[in-house]
Amino acid sequence: MKIIAASAHQKGNESQNILELPNDANPLALDLAGVVRIDLHFPKFSDGRAFSQARLLRGRLKFTGEIRATGDVLIDQLVQMARCGFDVAVLREGVDLADAQRQFDRFSAFYQGDATHPLPHFREAA
Amino acid sequence: MYQYTAFDQQFIRLRSQQFRDQLERWQAGKLAEDEFRPLRLQNGWYVQRYAPMLRVAVPYGELSSTQLRVLARVAREYDQPDATLLAEAQATQEKLGDIPLHDGRRIGTKLKYGYGHFTTRTNVQFNWIPLTKAADVMDLLASANLHGIQTSGNCIRNINSDALAGIAEDEIADPRPFCEILRQWSTLHPEFAFLPRKFKISINGAREDRAALGWYDVGLQLVKDDAGALGFKVRVGGGMGRTPTISPVLREFLPWNQLMNYLEAVIRVYNRYGRRDNSWKARIKILVKAEGQAYIDQVDEEFRQIVEVEGGPHTITQAELDRVTACFQEPAIDLSPSDAEAETLALLRTAGGEDSEFGRWVHRNVLPHRQPQLRAVVLSFKRLGYAPGDATAEQMEAAADLADRFSAGELRVTHEQNLVLPWVRRDQLPELWKAARALGLAKPNIGLLTDMIACPGGDFCALANARSLPIAEAITERYQDLDELFDLGEIDLHISGCINSCGHHHSGHIGILGVDKDGKEWYQITLGGADGSHLSGPASPGKIIGPSFSAAEVPGVIEALLTTYRNLRQELPDHSQGPKYETFIDTVRRVGIDPFKAAANAVRLPSDAVSA
């Protein structure tokens, strides 16, 4: 997962084939033809709707472009985001990137299937 | 019991490391208070009135003696407030006043420490551990495969089941393998860690609903279809709180292997549409009520797409079910008849009535087992001098020893805040009874009035409006006479210190709810609630019997309700072993709440006595 600072994040627009999706929108209703990037939004880190949106974009619609997490993003949610299909996250200024990286180095596998490992642990192990 | 694989064990240890990392960043000021809060909650750490509270998960209530000893160590070594904090807390609580008893004695707060508290959702709580020691405690717990993962927070919580799962006579299928499979599936689920609100699942495998399915966000009943295939009857959208709701059935029959695929649809639709603007309306019950069929249609469509478009990645394979089921094989217990057996059988026959202490214990605390030579035995943690469900470090260790001696090292935490020994040889009952009695854990009151459920209430909890424990103690003091308790028969008395309903007052035959009026403790009383068991009848919330009562009035009101019951109850036709009467809940159902209401109102105190 690529982590970028807020200052390096630039909002896109439709002419660049970048979609910005509010977190109450239904991703299944989107026309994804030509879209290269979708920005999903966390108005508060505790509002988890964008996790489901990313999960549907990857698992259901097989979207292969970039999914970017914007808004109130905690480093403790990065692994969870990556597992739901986000590949870029915008962190606010001042966050220690070493703290963020360490979260990726901890768990080597999880129980559920996810965007990176579609099958659950019990089916992969079998 | 489920045998943790190397992967399972490692996972819990890594979770403990992760929590230490978060705690240290919070201590270093790198993680803001409101950012740390949900992270600690998802590891079971609350901040309460005087100190943090730790809630340790006991998945579907199953506990090994080794785990119980580790919980005892946590109680002894960490559940220890410093003297100043304890003295300040005690002094503050004493200002709330005492509850007078009929005989002139008064019951007030007695804050205790060095113990664990069994909860209605079969977790174990500690009340005095400083946050600075939190990571050390998690490491100690992880050494016995214990943790606080998702025991709080807006995520899928610890899975609940029947305390007699896998041993009950009336079982359709053993729910424990499915509980374990769901435990794994829900653990650190990436999509469902920040839901609108908490999400609780309960699974029952028996004909009798002993898992309060109707009251859960998701209630799963194992069933067999006409062809004998196994599946689940799925209920969604129950809950207590401000809006007590019994869940509707969404699926009469869901094939067992589709369980996670279907739940994913249920929770994904909730994650999208559940209200986030008002935490009192954020539970799935509100969504299901508001949307009705529209919600069900969306779930069905989402489920269809998960299966048809994505190939149902979380379909449970037969191999996985077999692997997990194999972990729940019978323990090796020598069932060959011992010399003691004939003697025990004779003793049981003579004790068959209720006329001896042992007989009463056998009658109330010993439960049938699918294996005829075995019994399940309930250790009563409802006794004078202790809050309901409290166990000291020594008592937990002693209970662990009993489990090793009599029950293949296994115990269950029950919804009613007791412990069950699930594998007791029938011929060892007298020996177990003597040992349990010596520990004060053989009170023959299981299912009776004093086997009440109570939350920690206003003595510990920051959310509570009123104290639960002094009320529980006052009622326990009043009803110590076993003849009287047996005469009153089976009654579910549930006490919650606030509308969050941790003491499940809505489902009590008698429910007591703490409310706050002008900074004073008042209690609303409900009658006729039911958890869904055979005794209680279909799950339903109790009815409020009128304006709330002061703390001083509550013991008298309970007595008035019980006296009314005794006056109105009907004798049952079966006289073979002396007169028998309809139960409290049946009487309430038959005559309605009016006579009870009148009796309760008649014992209201003059307003100047209320604040005394």
Among B152, B179, B115, smallest CA distance to B19 is for B152
Interaxial angle between packed helices B429-438 and B339-350, expressed in degrees from 0 to 180 and rounded to the nearest 10: 70
Q: Inter-chain contact B191–A123, Cβ cutoff 8 Å?
A: no
Alpha-helical regions (H) of A60-96? 78-84
CA distance B447 to B489: 8
Compute the Cα dihedral for B484, B485, B491, B497 and give only its sign.
Answer: positive
Helix or strand holding residue B286 (H, E)? helix B284-291
Contact B411, B321 (CB under 8 A): no
Residue bearing tokens 């109850």? B569
Q: B-chain residues within 8 Å CB-CB of A77?
A: 193-194
**Is A14's Cβ below 8 Å from some Cβ in B?**
no
Question: Is there a domain that residue A54 lies in?
Answer: yes
CA distance B528 to A68: 53
Helix or strand holding residue B522 (H, E)? strand B520-527
CA distance B168 to B382: 23
**Is A122's Cβ below 8 Å from some Cβ in B?**
yes
Q: A-chain residues within 8 Å CB-CB of B259?
A: none
CA distance B514 to B471: 10
Q: Inter-chain contact A51–B190, Cβ cutoff 8 Å?
A: yes
User: Considering its fold, how many domains does chain A have in total?
Assistant: 1
Q: B-chain residues within 8 Å CB-CB of A125?
A: 7
Among A14, A25, A110, smallest CA distance to B272 is for A25
Question: Is there a domain that residue A59 lies in?
Answer: yes
Return the DSSP state at B581: B
Residue bearing tokens 């250790």? B379
CA atoms within 13 Å, Cβ hemisphere of B244: 19
Question: Is there a domain that residue A70 lies in?
Answer: yes
Contact B31, B22 (CB under 8 A): yes
* pLDDT at B349 (0 to 100): 66
Q: B-chain residues within 8 Å CB-CB of A79?
A: 190
Q: CA-CA distances (angstroms) from residue B522 to A55, B378, B517?
A: 48, 33, 7
Tell me the helix, strand and coil percentages in chain A, rounded to 5: 35, 20, 45
Alpha-helical regions (H) of B115-232? 134-142, 176-186
Measured between CA atoms, how close is A94 to chain B, in angstroms? 9
**Is A43's Cβ below 8 Å from some Cβ in B?**
no
CB-CB neighbours of B83 under 10 Å: 8
Tens digits of residue pLDDT in A38-87: 999 999 999 999 999 999 999 999 999 999 999 999 999 999 999 999 99
* pLDDT at A94 (0 to 100): 85
Q: CA-CA distances (angstroms) from residue B508 to A27, B11, B444, B464, B540?
A: 44, 38, 20, 18, 9
Measured between CA atoms, how close is A84 to chain B, in angstroms? 6
Give the domain ranges of chain B: 6-79+114-142, 160-326, 344-438, 453-610
Residue of chain B nearest A54, judged by CA positions: B191
Return the DSSP state at B540: B
CA angle B217, B221, B223 (to 5 degrees): 155
Q: Inter-chain contact A51–B188, Cβ cutoff 8 Å?
A: no
CB-CB neighbours of B594 under 10 Å: 9
Q: Inter-chain contact B194–A24, Cβ cutoff 8 Å?
A: no
Residue of chain A nearest B5, judged by CA positions: A122
CATH assignment of the domain containing A120: 3.20.20
Q: A-chain residues within 8 Å CB-CB of B271?
A: 48-49, 51-52
* pLDDT at A115 (0 to 100): 95
Count the helices and strands in chain B (H runs, E runs): 20, 23
Pairs across A and B, CB distance < 8 A: 103
pTM: 0.96
Interaxial angle between packed helices B259-273 and B293-308, expressed in degrees from 0 to 180 and rounded to the nearest 10: 130
ipTM for the predicted complex comes to 0.97
Among A46, A119, A79, A100, smallest CA distance to B155 is for A46
> How confident is chain B (612 residues) per 10-residue block, as mean pLDDT?
94 97 96 95 95 97 98 98 96 94 91 97 97 97 98 97 97 98 98 98 98 98 97 98 97 98 98 96 98 98 98 97 93 79 68 73 96 96 97 98 98 98 95 97 98 96 95 96 96 97 97 93 98 97 97 97 98 82 97 98 82 46
- φ, ψ of residue B120 in degrees (nearest 5): -65, -20
Tell me the helix, strand and coil percentages in chain B, rounded to 5: 40, 20, 40
- Mutate which of B156, B181, B191 to disrupt the A interface (most A C-beta within 10 Å)? B191
CATH class of B6-79+114-142: alpha beta
Measured between CA atoms, how close is B474 to chain A, in angstroms? 42
Q: Say yes or no: do domains B160-326 and B453-610 share a fold.
A: yes
If phi > 0 it is left, if psi is from -120 to 50 it is alpha, else beta; for residue B156 that is beta
Q: Which CATH superfamily is domain B160-326 in?
A: Sulfite Reductase Hemoprotein, domain 1 (3.30.413.10)
Q: Inter-chain contact B191–A52, Cβ cutoff 8 Å?
A: yes
Q: B-chain residues within 8 Å CB-CB of A45?
A: 35, 38, 194
Q: Which is it for strands B218-224 and B62-64: parallel, antiparallel or unpaired?
A: unpaired
Residue of chain A nearest B39, judged by CA positions: A76
Contact B48, B462 (CB under 8 A): yes
**Is A124's Cβ below 8 Å from some Cβ in B?**
no
In sequence order, the β-bridge partners of residue A70 are: A41
Total residue length of chain B:
612
Question: Is there a domain that residue A30 lies in?
Answer: no
Fold of B453-610: Sulfite Reductase Hemoprotein; domain 1 (3.30.413)
* pLDDT at B579 (0 to 100): 81
* pLDDT at B612 (0 to 100): 43
Q: What is the architecture of the domain spanning B344-438?
A: Alpha-Beta Complex (3.90)
CA distance B195 to A37: 25
Q: Inter-chain contact A112–B185, Cβ cutoff 8 Å?
A: yes
Q: B-chain residues within 8 Å CB-CB of A49?
A: 271-272
Q: Inter-chain contact B317–A109, Cβ cutoff 8 Å?
A: no
Q: B-chain residues within 8 Å CB-CB of A111?
A: 11, 184-185, 187-188
Contact B526, B541 (CB under 8 A): yes
Question: Is there a domain that residue A29 lies in?
Answer: no
Residue environment code for B532-556, b if the CB has 16+ CB neighbours within 10 A, otherwise e: bbebbeebbbbbebeebbbbbbbbb
Q: Inter-chain contact B25–A103, Cβ cutoff 8 Å?
A: no
Which two structure tokens, joined as six digits, stand for B588?
């309430």
3-state class of B107 per DSSP? strand
Q: Inter-chain contact A59–B310, Cβ cutoff 8 Å?
A: yes
* pLDDT at B574 (0 to 100): 79
Compute the Cα dihedral for B113, B118, B120, B125 and give only its sign.
Answer: positive
